[in-house]
Amino acid sequence: MPLLSDGDQSLRRVLILTIVVTLAGAIAFLAFRGFESAAGFLMGAIVSLLNFQGMSAVVNLLLGLKRPAPFAIVLILLRYGLVGCAVYVIVKILGFTLAPVISGLFAAFAAVVLETLYELISRPANH
């Protein structure tokens, strides 16, 4: 079962990279756009991380690795609607600017791209 442990390590690295991207993005927004933009980015990044966790749960469910609780299955199925609702609340009700929030939503995606690059660079090609 080495493939599964490699996958677990990759997921751990994606989590760590998401946190690094989130902190770097928040610092950049704080430096160039101010506290409100940094807070909006952080909120978007948190939603991004939760969405990534939901996608991981879907993969685990499809592969039969882990079976989530019934309530978790409902949340997984409603994931994109919940993301949309979260963004609506962050922007319309809390009053944060849309651009930093949307930027934060890409934090987990950026982490996955960085993890993919790491895997491509660190593993020798099979000839």
Q: pLDDT by residue for the chain (127 residues), tens digit each?
A: 333 445 678 889 999 999 999 999 999 999 999 999 999 999 999 999 988 888 887 777 777 777 767 777 777 778 888 888 999 999 999 999 999 999 999 999 999 999 999 989 988 766 4
pTM here?
Answer: 0.80
Domain for residue 60, yes or no? yes
Note down the domain range covering 95.
Answer: 9-116
Residues 6+ apart with CB under 8 A from 58: 76
Give the start-end residues of each E strand in 7-93: none
Domain for residue 38, yes or no? yes
Domain for residue 125, yes or no? no
Total length of the chain = 127
Domain for residue 2, yes or no? no
